[in-house]
Structure 1
Amino acid sequence: MLWYILVGLLSLLAGVALGFFIARKYMMNYMKKNPPINEKMLRVMMMQMGQNPSQKKINQMMKQMQNQQDK
């Protein structure tokens, strides 16, 4: 009976560890393929929309996006 509990517990720990590393690898690949928006990308998007962005406006939008991610 103790043997079954020990095997189950070890299997659970191995599954958690394996799941962590698989999820970590997946997220690293996802972030590499889809990087978060930076100031240069934001500037290009605003120029494509016909706006002439100032550095102050870029900083405000970056701060708004950062606040939105924190929530």
Structure 2
Amino acid sequence: MPTWGWIIIVIIALAAGAALGFYFARQAMMKYLKENPPINEQMIRMMMAQMGRTPSEKQVRQMMAQMNKFQK
């Protein structure tokens, strides 16, 4: 097989690998987010209510800021 034939095969294989990699990574990320949703303000309010506290809006915002800072 001539050299240009191998070059075309390599390019096709790289494109197919990139497409399949993107697809499977996307599926894995969607599954992870479905099983482990990120924490939002409503979840913080519910957690504090379970602990017997009624949080103010300021407290909820402070906790969200702390969590966002911790995640980065």
TM superposition score normalised by structure 2: 0.76
- The worse-fitting range, judged by mean Cα deviation, of 44-53 and 22-31 is 44-53
Q: In the alignment, what sits opposite 2:45? A: 43
The alignment's C-alpha RMSD in Å is 1.8
**Secondary structure of residue in 2 paired with 1:28:** helix
- Mapped to 2, the partners of 1:7 and 1:63 lie a distance apart of 50
C-alpha displacement of 1:65: 2.9
Q: In the alignment, what sits opposite 1:7? A: 9
Give the share of equivalent positions with the same residue, in percent: 53
Please give the residue correspondences for 1:1-71 in structure 2 after superposition, counting only pairs within 5 Å: 1-49=3-51, 51-69=53-71, 71=72
Structure 2 gap segments, 5+ residues each: none
- Mapped to 1, the partners of 2:19 and 2:28 lie a distance apart of 14
Structure 1 gap segments, 5+ residues each: none
Aligned length: 70
- The worse-fitting range, judged by mean Cα deviation, of 57-66 and 46-55 is 46-55
Larger Rg: 2
TM superposition score normalised by structure 1: 0.77
